[in-house]
Amino acid sequence: MPYLIYKTDGKVLTTVDDSNVDISTSLNLVGKNYAGYGLAINENFVYLLENFANTSQPAKPIIGQTWFDTNPTQSKLKVYDGSSFKGLATIRIQSSVPVYSVVGDLWWDTQNQLLKTFDGSTYQIIGPSLSTKANWLPNDEYSNVSSPAITILKGTIGNKIIAVMSETDPSFVPYQSTDLDPARFPVIMRGITLAGANSIDPNTGQLVNPDVPLGSTRGSDYYFWGTAAESLSALTAASVTVQSTTVTTPYYVPLASTSTGDSSLVTDSGITYASGVLNTIASSARFADLAERYEADDVYEVGTVLVIGGTAEVTTTYIPGDVKVIGIVSKNPAYRMNSEAGTDETHPYIALKGRVPCMVVGRIQRGDLLVTSSTPGYAQVMTDGHSPNAVIGKALGSQDQGFGVIEVLVI
């Protein structure tokens, strides 16, 4: 009676007839009553023990079968995936691009000394890109003979170091270094130090290289040392200009002698700024009113007429011609006073002078004087019974009747 040989997934692999040996796989499968079956069984054990070790792959593999590739330049232990043997727990080590690759395969390119991975169409570099590429390499430096190692990153192009990145604070002068040129890196600052930047020895306060013009003196702040980021410490703007490619007139860039304190910022256009005070000949703005923040007892929309009173500083009123009127809620003041008092909801800007939209009620003609109305938040035309002190502004627009919004000149 023949043997039916099943695989792990329950499918029939082959049928072994009585007194025969099946060789449809890499093993010798013995049938019933086969003479000399002991040799076949022992050889099967050896094949499995050595994982079919050979320079060539097994001729009749099945999915999941392992093979130890004895070629000296190839991956060693491999597994069959149904189409080819793939390296297992190792990578391909060769100079040419591997064939029969699948997504995620690794390859050590011996020609370029690069680790690469297959993305489905080509092998992409993982790293490292050594002396032939731009690179960031970790390294240990020392500030003196007894100090612990300080870890830095060296930015290189080819074999030349152009920048050093450090987290160490305070900054330090390299004591012993195998590849940092003292003329190009006299001191390593916290952050990024560019080659050629000069600075002060943080231990002595003296120039590291007196023959080189003074570089940065901004302590241990994060900076690109030796670049335009140091314009904060410039002492003059006499020769710093910006010039258009189409206009020949230069535009001067003002620089402060210090980033803090009372030093003035001055340009030749007549503007100075010192101790928080701006002095200028004239100024301009896109918006048209002067406003100040006041605390309101509710949230009011733009154009609402407010008076002094309520549970806070300002509120609306039912009184026509109320002399407590203060102004109109503004959206975009040209000049904003008391700007840090609160938000637009809690402390709206109230237009005290200038041109703003205003909510109005009734018939209004351009030029009419406006006062509060019996409708809270709305203005109406001033009549003979109203006090001059109740006037909020002059109408710049008109409407025939009802409720609306017009431009008003607050006076």
Query: Does residue 331 fall inside a structural domain?
Result: yes
pLDDT of residue 198: 60
**Higher-confidence residue: 132 or 326?**
326
Asked whether 379 and 390 are in contact (CB, 8 A), the reply is no
The pLDDT of 200-209, averaged and rounded, is: 56
The mean pLDDT of 270-294, rounded to a whole number, is 83
Residues 256 and 294 both lie in one domain: no
Is 321 within a domain? yes
- The DSSP bridge partners found for residue 15 are 4
* CA 174 from centre of chain: 32
Task: Please state whether 84 falls in left (phi above 0), alpha (psi between -120 and 50) or beta.
Answer: beta
Where do the DSSP E strands lie in 7-81? 12-16, 21-22, 29-30, 66-68, 77-80
Q: What is the pLDDT of residue 122?
A: 86
Contacts of 93 by beta carbon, 8 Å cutoff, 6+ apart: 73, 74, 75, 107, 108, 110
> What pLDDT does residue 212 have?
41
Of the candidates 168, 126, 127, 124, the one whose C-alpha atom is nearest the C-alpha of residue 149 is: 168
Predicted confidence at residue 349, as pLDDT, reads 97
Domain count, the chain: 4
Q: Which two tokens stand for residue 18?
A: 């009585």
State residue 295's pLDDT score: 97
Q: How is residue 262 written in tokens?
A: 């009372």
Q: For residue range 219-277, what is the model confidence (pLDDT) as tens digits?
A: 444 455 555 544 444 444 444 555 555 556 655 555 555 555 555 555 556 677 777 77
Q: CA-to-CA distance for 203 and 186, rounded, in angstroms?
A: 13
Residue 61 lies inside a defined structural domain of this protein? no
Same domain, 176 and 223: yes
Asked if 16 and 3 touch (Cβ cutoff 8 Å), the reply is yes
Choose between 215 and 185: higher pLDDT.
185
* Per-residue pLDDT band at 186 (split at 50, 70, 90): confident
**Same-domain status, 271 and 293:** no
**Any domain includes 74:** no
Distance CA 304, CA 376 (A): 8
User: If DSSP codes are grouped into helix, strand and coil, which group holds residue 357?
Assistant: strand
Summarised one tens digit per residue, pLDDT across range 53-103 is: 999 999 999 999 999 999 876 668 889 999 999 877 567 889 888 887 777
Assigned domain for 109 exists: no
Contact 305, 325 (CB under 8 A): yes
**Cα distance from N-terminal residue to C-terminal residue, the chain:** 116
Q: Which residue has the higher pLDDT, 317 or 75?
A: 317
- The Cα 340–Cα 300 span in angstroms is 18
Q: Is the dihedral of CA 313, 314, 319, 325 positive or negative?
A: positive
Q: What per-residue confidence (pLDDT) applies to 130?
A: 52
Per residue in 102-115, is it b (16+ CB within 10 Å) or e — as a string? Answer: eeebbbbbeeeebe
In a domain, 36, yes or no: yes
> How would residue 119 be classed by pLDDT, with cut points 50, 70 and 90?
confident
Residues 271 and 302 occupy one common structural domain: no
Residue 369 three-state SS: strand
Same domain, 312 and 341: yes
Question: CA 384 → CA 40, 381, 390, 410, distances in Å?
Answer: 126, 10, 12, 20
172 within a domain of the structure (yes/no): yes
pLDDT of residue 199 exceeding 70, the answer is no
Both 350 and 406 in a single domain? yes
With contact defined as beta carbons under 8 Å apart, do 143 and 149 qualify?
no
Contacts of 92 (CB under 8 A, 6+ apart): 74, 75, 98, 105, 106, 107, 108
- Ranges 82-91, 109-118, 129-138, 380-389, most confident: 380-389
Please check whether residues 152 and 222 belong to one and the same domain: yes
- The mean predicted confidence, pLDDT, of the chain is 81
Same domain, 174 and 208: yes
Lowest average pLDDT, out of 16-30, 150-164, 392-406, goes to 150-164
Judged on CB neighbours under 10 Å (0-12, 13-18, 19+), 277 is exposed
Domain limits for position 17: 3-49
Alpha-carbon gap, residue 76 to 92, rounded angstroms: 9
One domain for residues 272 and 293: no
396: in domain: yes
Count the residues in the chain: 411
pLDDT the model gives residue 177: 57
293 & 405 share domain: yes
Position 159 pLDDT exceeds 90: no
Span 325-371, pLDDT tens digits: 999 999 899 999 999 999 999 999 999 999 999 999 999 999 999 99
Q: Is the domain of 294 the same as that of 381?
A: yes
Question: What pLDDT is recorded for position 123?
Answer: 87
Structure tokens at 349: 């800007």
Give the helix/strand (H/E) hosting 40: helix 37-49
Question: Pick the residue with more confidence: 293 or 119?
Answer: 293
**pTM higher than 0.85, yes or no?**
no
Judge if 405 and 330 occupy the same domain: yes
